[in-house]
Each structure stands twice: as C-alpha cells, then as structure tokens.
Amino acid sequence: EVVLTQSPGTLSLSPGEGATLSCRASQSISSSFLAWYQQKPGQTPRLLIYDTSSRASDIPDRFTGSGSGTDFTLTINRLEPEDFAVYYCQQYATSLYTFGQGTKLEIK
C-alpha cells in the first residue's frame, strides 16, 4: 500500500499570499496518478487536480499541481478567503488507492 504523507499539517497564511502544500509518497507513483481535493467544513470534498497537474472543471488557474515520482506539490497563488480549507492528495497508481492525511490551510 502506498502511504501518502502531507506536509505541513497546518499552514497559516494571509489572503493574497501564496501557499505550497506537499504530498510525499512511500514509493514512486507511476504515470503521475495523483489527485488533489479541497474540503471546507461541513462540505463534500471537491476535486481540484487530477493526473498531477490537470485542473478539474471550474477550478481557477491560481491552483497548480506539479511533481513526479514520490514528491508532489499543490501551489495556490494569491490566496482568496474561500481557499482556506483542508486539502487532501490521493494516489491511484496501484489498485489500492490511498489518501494523504490532509493539510489544513488556515487564515493567519
């Protein structure tokens, strides 16, 4: 089973700043089979990025995914108030899919 470790656990930033969220895999993820989700309190998770760097429908271009192998990054430019949420990465390179434990992005 591929273990995904996200860091930091909590990130405190101000609106307008940029955020960098990390997702590290316990083994290499082939073909960049990694997705990112956003979850706000009391809401359903929302797909942001799939295949490491492809933005889902209606996702603003301030969200960018990158990475390969075992190290993946979600970058959020110019944080908006609605971006403060919990972010999860998910791998689908093996038949046993897994999620990271999440990074909470909070307002400083």
Binding residues for another protein, total number by CB under 8 A: 25
The region of 17-25, 67-75, 76-84, 97-105 touching another protein under the rule CB under 8 A is: 97-105
The region of 12-20, 64-72, 73-81, 94-102 touching another protein under the rule CB under 8 A is: 94-102
Query: What DSSP assignment string belongs to the chain?
Result: ---EEEE-SEEEE-TTS-EEEEEEEEEEEGGG-EEEEEE-TTS--EEEEETTTEEPTT--TTEEEEEEEEEEEEEE-S--GGG-SEEEEEE-SSSS-EE---EEEEE-
Using the rule CB under 8 A, is 56 a contact of another protein?
yes
Other CB atoms within 10 A of residue 29 CB: 24
Q: Per-residue x/- marks for another protein, 9-48, CB under 8 A?
A: ------------------------x-x-x-x----xxxx-
Residues at the interface with another protein (CB under 8 A):
1, 33, 35, 37, 39, 44-47, 50-51, 56, 86, 88, 90, 92-93, 95-102
